[in-house]
Amino acid sequence: MIVRLKDSARDTEIEAVLSRIGDPRRVVLPFGRFIIGMGRQDPGGAEVQHMPGVESVVAEMNGPVLAARDANRRGTVVPLGRTLVGGKDLAVIAGPCSVEDKHQLMTAARFVAAYGATALRGGAYKPRTSPYAFQGLRLGGLAILDEVKRATGLPVVTEAMEPEDVDLMRDTVDCIQVGARSMQNFPLLRAVGRAGKPVLLKRGPASSLSELMLAAEYVLVEGNSQVILCERGIRTFETATRNTLDLNAVPVLKSKTHLPVIVDPSHGTGRRDAVIPMARAAVAAGADGIIVEVHPDPDRALSDGDQSLTLDQFRQLMEETRLVAEAVGRRLSTPGAVYSSCAQRPAARTALGWGTT
Amino acid sequence: MIVRLKDSARDTEIEAVLSRIGDPRRVVLPFGRFIIGMGRQDPGGAEVQHMPGVESVVAEMNGPVLAARDANRRGTVVPLGRTLVGGKDLAVIAGPCSVEDKHQLMTAARFVAAYGATALRGGAYKPRTSPYAFQGLRLGGLAILDEVKRATGLPVVTEAMEPEDVDLMRDTVDCIQVGARSMQNFPLLRAVGRAGKPVLLKRGPASSLSELMLAAEYVLVEGNSQVILCERGIRTFETATRNTLDLNAVPVLKSKTHLPVIVDPSHGTGRRDAVIPMARAAVAAGADGIIVEVHPDPDRALSDGDQSLTLDQFRQLMEETRLVAEAVGRRLSTPGAVYSSCAQRPAARTALGWGTT
Amino acid sequence: MIVRLKDSARDTEIEAVLSRIGDPRRVVLPFGRFIIGMGRQDPGGAEVQHMPGVESVVAEMNGPVLAARDANRRGTVVPLGRTLVGGKDLAVIAGPCSVEDKHQLMTAARFVAAYGATALRGGAYKPRTSPYAFQGLRLGGLAILDEVKRATGLPVVTEAMEPEDVDLMRDTVDCIQVGARSMQNFPLLRAVGRAGKPVLLKRGPASSLSELMLAAEYVLVEGNSQVILCERGIRTFETATRNTLDLNAVPVLKSKTHLPVIVDPSHGTGRRDAVIPMARAAVAAGADGIIVEVHPDPDRALSDGDQSLTLDQFRQLMEETRLVAEAVGRRLSTPGAVYSSCAQRPAARTALGWGTT
Amino acid sequence: MIVRLKDSARDTEIEAVLSRIGDPRRVVLPFGRFIIGMGRQDPGGAEVQHMPGVESVVAEMNGPVLAARDANRRGTVVPLGRTLVGGKDLAVIAGPCSVEDKHQLMTAARFVAAYGATALRGGAYKPRTSPYAFQGLRLGGLAILDEVKRATGLPVVTEAMEPEDVDLMRDTVDCIQVGARSMQNFPLLRAVGRAGKPVLLKRGPASSLSELMLAAEYVLVEGNSQVILCERGIRTFETATRNTLDLNAVPVLKSKTHLPVIVDPSHGTGRRDAVIPMARAAVAAGADGIIVEVHPDPDRALSDGDQSLTLDQFRQLMEETRLVAEAVGRRLSTPGAVYSSCAQRPAARTALGWGTT
């Protein structure tokens, strides 16, 4: 049972509801306060529905509740640097698959910043199918990300592989990515939920959209609504592409959840020559942004070289995608925008005076 | 072994090549003349390569040859009414799933014509999963299509289910559809290849892009290069949508074949609310057109009502897609264009003075 | 609406039911007589349920009715040569993918007969992904099948690709195969339904079990209940095997339909080294038989060589599978059984004195 | 580069090899000692191949090396209680999906032990798609497992969801399961690799067999070769079953890796009525055992009730599967076998006097 409280609910009213519900958990989100009963002896919905201070009740939870469209009809926007992801401006998160060295990352970052990227991606911790593949520079990678972030002003998006990574990322990272293989790593989802900063949650290659939303629900239940969903391709029988980018996900998610949705055409296709067309398509479908791999020298990349754009191709992507963005009433940053700070993210929860339990 | 002849090849040179190759078959296409050896005793490629009149030789045929990009670097355009599909103008093929009665089809056709559709779709022969589902009006459906075509000037696209249907469609139908379930119905592919008119070949729900191109090759081998490929969604684990529209297919096919590629967002999603976003996305990805289901009263449709657009939604689709088309340098017909004739298709093969054997 | 008549229903009672139901179609199967209403104005089930001569009524047809388990609780057995497929004896249909020449087929047939095969497979008409691949000997292949059948006494199973093939097979072929690519070739299904002989219906690589049963329903509606279903692998992301043999299909189909179910481990795996283990597994799962590719010289096979067993491997398959068959209470023919005739199939429908309309 | 050392290699020879290889890592497994070079400046294979003490060299690592068949031609057996998994005796791991309370687990355990189960399964930490579903008793569940293990003598198999769970399981758990959703949770794989006890590694629902073996490689690289692979169904378009149990995996894995392979027909089908047939099929295909869900009262189970066997059904499963096991030359424990101890597992690595670095 999930009870949504009225904004006007008084403390005594809240206490009364808490005492009626088995094993209650309090969640505060920017769009509302909720009491979640996990106990098997929860009262019926009809009984709680009419208590003072209660706005609405969901008695059966077969799908997402906090992540469902109805929970926030206005739509959630997630601040990432100066962009409000989910608003009119599109997010463009660009950079190399892996952080390889300072020169590589700085070159890529300066270029993508100059052509309108709104955030920098780059992996320090790399989940790799083989234990013999390059596993990332780890702490060294985080240090490079920090340095490049200071130099360029670009907010940084990078992947955490386990809960303890999240702590290490507290100071450097602006948005923690939960990778496709980790979409149902529930301890990790809870950890990024408690971290209180933006989360980029990628769809698993065999995960339905319903499961993606329930994975987001794990984050929201911890009191963090700053979740950006990311379609990055699913696994099908087709081998012409590395994955099958499922752009259907964009309109379906838009109708079912209030969270912003971006698209990763690099992993979604695995082919450099398909990235730009699919970036255009993603924006035309209504995505709130894209995340793309860009490398100064893709042929020497330590990972994902086949799908990384060259710097020139990134410029082309921005030019072409900008026109499509305008055709659908959205906006892409213009080249040369300067990022002076990425610390202006509103601290959504502190003003509400309530922690999560 | 496939031998491509030079345009300047003389009859005696051709005879010499024919006599060297086992079990030869001659194919004439608008973009070249070919001799295909099916025999197991074909000579080596090096041997034939240097014979007079020979332009190039493909010795091993693991993939498509006539349908491959290299066979026609300029790209094939298929005339459908006044639109050259594969050129700058986008094809918009719209209409109901099934022809149900004259009033239904006429209403839909007049509306979609008024808002810029370039051809009318409507099934007379319906492949249905259950023998108890509506199977189409068959000959009665063809008659209605004929009448509506005369009244509106719209060229007609409809599906053939077996070779004998192809003959029945000779006079009425401008473009014969080979449906997704029939993509590997090889007798049917050969039959539409011999029919000498445009073919709309839909990708099977479990077919790779490579297999789609080889299915097209069956048509081309019969001397008919007027093939429009259609991505219409593949079968995956995801159940939020009826199929998973694989827009990756657009850039991949564009790089591998010279045939035009259109997209069917109606079957590709199965959800009315996703059709318009995916139509926009298809055009942004580089598709040469779309095919969509439109019904005057979708809730009463005898088939596919859930995915059919209302007339108003079709108007919206055209308005939104037109802007995206312009953003990618393409053109959508403007409302009110009048179709006076659909018989202006150039008779591609007759000028060449060669039949297929 | 489908009405099942009582065995005791009188002509006048039947006429009364027929006159109540819109656009009726009569179907007689060995396990019952049915009246199928295809009209949209069918009366409600409650109304017809109580008419004299009516045993039961199915008002809504969302799934198979004639093929559903309930239609024939005793289970259907299909005679193929001397084996009643679906009974205690297991069918073993063995032979080469394609009929290549008389020597090849005779060698294979004599060997598999000697080691207990109950029928011979061999393709005369071959559906091939590429138009340049070997397409079968066609009529020449049927002639060879006929000759080998006479010499060995083995009943013959071969594939029809289009309705007109069915007529050509009338005299030679004991069981017509509808291949995986043709599972939803509805004109072909109707044609084999009218042919009145056993049908081997293979599951399409992207077809659900529900769709397979509905494809069988197309055959049954024509009055032919002699349908053997065949699981042959579905298309998934896994590339270690050509297809993913879905043995779950065996218990699921057994619970949902009365038709016999066999398994094709050759296409289901595409790997010679996996055929024997999966044949054992199929029998352990409860299959009513197997169909396997056996070639005297697989490395020189014109099709499917990678998955064809050698003659020795077929012998091993029979030895190993026989033990498993006994462990699950089934029986595999012993080596050396002689087939003197395959014409003993009971003419199921003629005794009932009713045709299909 | 991976270098396999001869058993006779001397310390000085090993030192010489170590000093030639970039960033070396030493791995000792019961079947051999290996030096793995992770550095990009590894010397060519030809150069190292001829150094003293070197048995063989793998220069390129595109697939598994330590887990590959060639690494241990004799096959690996993993001790689990008194069963050597991978030997002639089949493992039967049975019990409820989740540990719910002491009575439930004790009832199930006593029953399955009496009918021949060789180990007890039961989840204390439950990965659940929804945060609102029962998440397991966690430490309380481990305590119950410990108590039931002492009472019944059954070794215990349970799932770890994150690295820190592994430590908590040190004393109680005999075999740590890495669940399907965690197959590519690389930190967890490394942690169970270091734990030095048997690991049950389940295939991910969208993971290829190649990826499964590479996941096992992560464990082996840590010096732990006690890995049991488990096929538990993959995700496909078919919805009649919860997953598609891919029994092809059994022969394919058997040919490509030396690790034992078991099958989970409960998750692989999701249907109680399909579990027994698929258990029989798994054994017939050559699996080294099965893992099945058994619950004293499936209809009241807190998770996976639909696919749990009743106690009576488990008895039937054992009876039927025993016959199939014998037919393929394997052995299933007989009812009434008593487990007095599960601590007889040989401490494989200590005798070798080398740790992993």
Largest CA distance in chain C: 64
Residue pair C330/C289 in contact by the 8 Å Cβ criterion: no
- Residue of chain A whose alpha carbon sits nearest to that of D127: A186
What's the count of helices (H) and strands (E) in chain B, helices before strands?
11, 14
Of A244, A248, A268, Cβ closest to residue B278: A248
Assessment of whether the complete model's pTM goes beyond 0.90? yes
pLDDT > 50? residue B352: no
Quick one: what percent of chain D has pLDDT higher than 90? 85
- The mean pLDDT of B276-303, rounded to a whole number, is 96
Chain B nearest-CA residue for A242: B248
CA distance A164 to chain B (A): 32
How many Å apart are CA B111 and CA B117, to the nearest integer? 9
Rounded to an integer, what distance in angstroms lies between the CA atom of residue A268 and that of residue B282? 16
pLDDT of A349 strictly over 60: no
Contacts of B236 in chain D (CB under 8 A): 237
CA distance D83 to chain C (A): 23
B76 pLDDT exceeds 60? yes
d(CA A123, CA A105): 10
Picking from C308, C336, C70, C64, the residue whose alpha carbon sits closest to that of residue C189 is C64
In this prediction, the residues of chain D whose per-residue pLDDT falls under 70 are: 335-357
CA distances from D190 to A98, D138, D164, D186, D199 (A): 21, 22, 12, 6, 11
Ramachandran region, residue B235 (left: φ > 0; alpha: ψ -120 to 50; beta: rest): beta
Nearest 5°: phi and psi at A52? -60, 145
pLDDT of residue B136: 95
Residue B8: partners with Cβ closer than 8 Å, 6 or more residues away: B53
Residue the block writes with tokens 């990235």: A275
Express each pLDDT in D173-192 by its tens digit: 999 999 999 999 999 999 99
What would the pLDDT profile of C181-224 be if each residue is shown by its tens digit? 999 999 999 999 999 999 999 999 999 999 999 999 999 999 99
| Max CA separation in chain A (angstroms) | 64
Return the percentage of chain B with pLDDT > 70, whole number.
94
Question: Is the CB of C236 less than 8 angstroms away from the CB of D234?
Answer: yes
Predicted confidence at residue D46, as pLDDT, reads: 85
Q: Considering only CB atoms, which chain B residues are within 8 Å of D235?
A: 237
D83-85 and D78-80 as β-strands: parallel, antiparallel, unpaired? Answer: antiparallel
The pLDDT score that the predictor gives to residue B354 is: 45
- Between chain B and chain C, how many beta carbons pairs sit less than 8 Å apart? 71
Q: Is the pLDDT of residue C94 over 80?
A: yes
B158 pLDDT higher than 50: yes
The band of A344, judged by pLDDT with boundaries at 50, 70 and 90, is very low
Q: Is residue A237 predicted with pLDDT exceeding 60?
A: yes
- Round to whole Å and give the CA distance between C84 and B150: 57
Strand ranges in B188-278 using DSSP code E only, listed in sequence order:
199-202, 227-231, 261-263
CA pair distance B295, B109, nearest whole angstrom: 9
Rg (chain A; Cα; Å): 21
If residue C46 lies in a helix (H) or strand (E), which one and from where to where? Answer: helix C45-49
Does residue B96 surpass a pLDDT of 80?
yes
Q: C268 and D248 in contact by Cβ < 8 A?
A: yes
Q: Do D235 and B239 touch (CB under 8 A)?
A: no
Nearest-CA distance from C341 to chain D in Å?
A: 32
pLDDT-derived band at A78, boundaries 50, 70, 90: very high
| Cβ–Cβ under 8 Å, residues C205 and C230 | no
Instruction: Note the pLDDT of residue C335.
Output: 65
Query: What average pLDDT does chain C have?
Result: 92
Least confident of A151-155, A243-247, B36-40: B36-40
Lowest mean pLDDT across A146-160, C295-309, D138-152:
C295-309
Q: Could you say which of C206, C277, C323 has the minimum Cβ distance to residue D327?
A: C323
Of D38, D184, D235, the CB nearest to A127: D184
Tell me which residue in C240, C251, C280 faces D209 most closely, judged by beta carbons: C240
C261: distance to nearest CA of chain D, Å?
14
Q: What is the pLDDT of residues B168-207, one digit of tens each?
A: 999 999 999 999 999 999 999 999 999 999 999 999 999 9
**Which residue type does B154 have?**
L
Burial of C287 (0-12, 13-18, 19+ CB in 10 A): buried
A38/D186 Cβ within 8 A: no
| CB D228 within 8 Å of CB D262 | yes
Interface contact flag, B214 C187, Cβ < 8 Å:
no
Partners of B79 in the beta sheet?
A: B84
Q: Which amino acid is at A259?
A: L
> Which residue blocks in A50-162 are alpha helix, DSSP H?
102-114, 139-152
List the structure tokens of C67.
């093929």
All residues of chain B having their beta carbon less than 8 Å from the beta carbon of residue C186 are 127-128, 131, 161
pLDDT tens-digit series, residues A325-342: 999 999 997 765 444 333
Answer yes or no: do D236 and B237 touch at CB < 8 A: yes
- Checking if the pLDDT of A353 tops 70, the result is no
CA A201-A206-A207 angle, to 5 degrees, is 50
- Whole-number Å distance between alpha carbons of C31 and A179: 56
Beta bridge partners of A85: A78
| Residue B353 in this model has a pLDDT that exceeds 60 | no
Beta bridge partner(s), residue C93: C119, C291
Residue in chain D lying closest to B237 (CA): D237
pLDDT number for residue A350: 31
Judge contact between A184 and A213, C-beta under 8 A: no
Instruction: Report residue C352's pLDDT band, with 50, 70 and 90 as the boundaries.
Output: very low
Buried b or exposed e, range D338-356, using 16+ CB within 10 angstroms: ebeebeebeebbeeeeeeb
The answer to whether the beta carbons of residues A267 and D238 sit under 8 Å apart is no
> How many CA within 13 A on the CB side of residue A140?
9
pLDDT of residue C247: 98
Q: Tell if the CB–CB gap between C235 and A239 is shorter than 8 Å.
A: no
CA nearest A182 in D: which residue?
D185
Q: How far apart are CA B276 and CA B330, in angstroms?
A: 17
Burial of residue C346 (CB within 10 Å: 0-12, 13-18, 19+) is exposed
Predicted complex ipTM: 0.93
Distance from CA of D218 to the nearest CA of A (A): 6
DSSP code, position D64: -
Interface test with D, best of C238, C241, C245, C317 (most D CBs within 10 A): C238
Buried b (16+ CB within 10 A) or exposed e, A32-45: bbbbbbbeeebbee
> In this complex, which chains have at least 3 CB pairs below 8 Å with chain D?
A, B, C
Q: Which of B242, B247, B309, B330 to mutate to test the interface with A (most CBs of A within 10 A)?
A: B247
Nearest residue in chain B measured CA to CA from D205 = B237
Per-residue confidence (pLDDT) for residue A336, from 0 to 100: 54
Beta carbons within 8 Å of D336's beta carbon, 6+ residues apart: D114, D116
B342: pLDDT strictly greater than 80:
no
Q: Do A235 and C235 touch (CB under 8 A)?
A: no
Q: Which of A79, A82, A145, A159 is nearest to A118 (CA)?
A: A82
Coil, strand or helix: which one is C262?
strand
pLDDT at position A351, please? Answer: 31
Quick count: other Cβ atoms within 10 Å of Cβ B106?
Answer: 16
Mean pLDDT (chain B) is 92
Both tokens assigned to C36: 């199928």
Are the C-beta atoms of residues B79 and B346 closer than 8 Å to each other?
A: yes
Task: Please tell me the predicted confidence (pLDDT) of residue B345.
Answer: 34
Q: What is the mean pLDDT of residues B259-283?
A: 97
B261 contacts: CB under 8 Å, gap ≥ 6: B228, B229, B230, B231, B249, B250, B253, B254, B286, B287, B288
Residue-wise pLDDT for C43-62, tens only, equals: 888 889 999 999 999 988 88
| Res B341: pLDDT | 36
Contacts of A244 (CB under 8 A, 6+ apart): A233, A234, A235, A236, A238, A268, B234, B236, B244, B246, B248
Which amino acid is present at D185? N
The stretch B303-310 carries a mean pLDDT of 91
Structure tokens at A212: 């993606």
Mean predicted confidence (pLDDT) in C18-37: 93
Q: What is the per-residue pLDDT for C351?
A: 31
Angle at D63 between CA D61 and CA D67, to 5 degrees: 105
Cα D317 to Cα D292: distance, rounded to the nearest angstrom = 10
